[in-house]
Amino acid sequence: MAGLRVLQAVLDINTRSWDIPRLEAVQGDYGSFTLQVTVVASGVVVNITGWRANFVASPDDIHIISDPVINFTDAANGKFEYTFVKEAFSTPGTIDNARFVLIKQDGTQLSGMPRFTYHVDEDPAQGKIDQKDYIGDFAAFQAQVTDLQTQFNTLQSQITAMNVVKKTGDSMTGNLQFDVSSERLLRGFDYAGNKGIAGLFFNLTGFGFSDWVNNVRFATYSTATKKFNFVKDYLTADGKPVANTTDSVQKTGDSTVVGIISATDFKVGSQSVKDSLADSGWINLTLKSGFTAGASTPQYKKVGNLVKFRGLVNRTSGGTGAFSTVPVGYRTSDEYLEGFATGQQSSAAGATGLVYVKPTGDLELVAATNATGIWLSGISYYIN
């Protein structure tokens, strides 16, 4: 608020000069004298919005007056005003060290601001007035700080007495209990996005794990069933889904499999199921001299470890001997000769032939009832 007397002045911050009238006051004046200042730069008004200012003087060259109570009346047009405090007029005489310290919005201080002079006439009626330091509202500010510190200490004591856990940098002992008459959550939360992420939920029936991003409760423990239930495909081991009882084969008991079991090396015991079921398909048998294929082509195949034969072998002149050799991988591992009785393409009763299968792979017709061809369908053996 302006005093009873108001004087106008111009402060040029470029030329560091004042255009100011003679300032006169009487010793002991208080709140009656206001100086209105316009800040310019080489005659051009300066926008001082956001600036701060401080009045500084030393009336007796001993005591200091530093008053930040400056009223910016029209900052956009460079105007502020200052009403002198009584300490500025406590010492009669000419005070030539008064000035305003200007601080820009970015915090930089304008250095070298020019001083101005004001005059204080002695007032015999006032008697001697002691000059004192005046540091703005420092005392009031200091009292406020002290009061705030007291309030903080009191609040801290109350918090300590409440025996609560701080949000950060604290620890606790004992149990952390929830009132689950209504469901309670312990979860991660994205405050920027204002949404839950994942965590635990507790209620009267048990607890579980929830994914609030995908809106799914993927695991729940029930105190009634005493079981922990996972939603299908949400339980993995080493990144792979753990099969449940509806899509897996039990280790003990009976299981029914619908569809195809796909495995790289599925074994029963030590035996590879893949190898046991591998089927070579029928392969034409290569016949030796003296033997020819009959109406049914002589063939062999391997299914797993079992080698089977079929077809008709005719004899050119009704002879005997080795009529074919099967390749490695299709040969018997029996060190003893395996003999197979085979039928003959003959209407004669009891017409049979005897075929030996050797570890060398040779198929040898040892004997036959007559000179007709022999059927191979009775020959089969395991290679292991």
Evaluate whether 357 touches 365 at the Cβ level (below 8 Å): no
- CA dihedral sign, ordered 246, 252, 254, 259: positive
Q: What is the largest CA-CA distance in the chain?
A: 167
* pTM (predicted TM-score): 0.38
pLDDT in tens, 220-261: 999 999 999 888 777 888 878 776 666 666 666 666 767 666
* Range with the largest mean pLDDT of 74-78, 142-146, 194-198, 264-268: 74-78
Cβ burial of 340 (10 Å; 0-12, 13-18, 19+) is: middle
Contact 11, 18 (CB under 8 A): yes
One-letter amino acid at 345 equals Q
Cβ proximity of 81 and 71 under 8 Å:
yes
Residue 326: CB atoms within 10 Å: 22
Backbone angles phi, psi at 117, to 5 degrees: -115, 140
Interval 176-231: pLDDT, tens: 887 988 999 999 999 999 999 999 999 999 999 999 999 999 899 999 999 998 88
Cβ(343)–Cβ(368) below 8 Å: no
- Residue 313, pLDDT > 90, answer yes
323, 364 contact by CB (below 8 A) = yes
Cα separation of 228 and 221, whole Å?
4
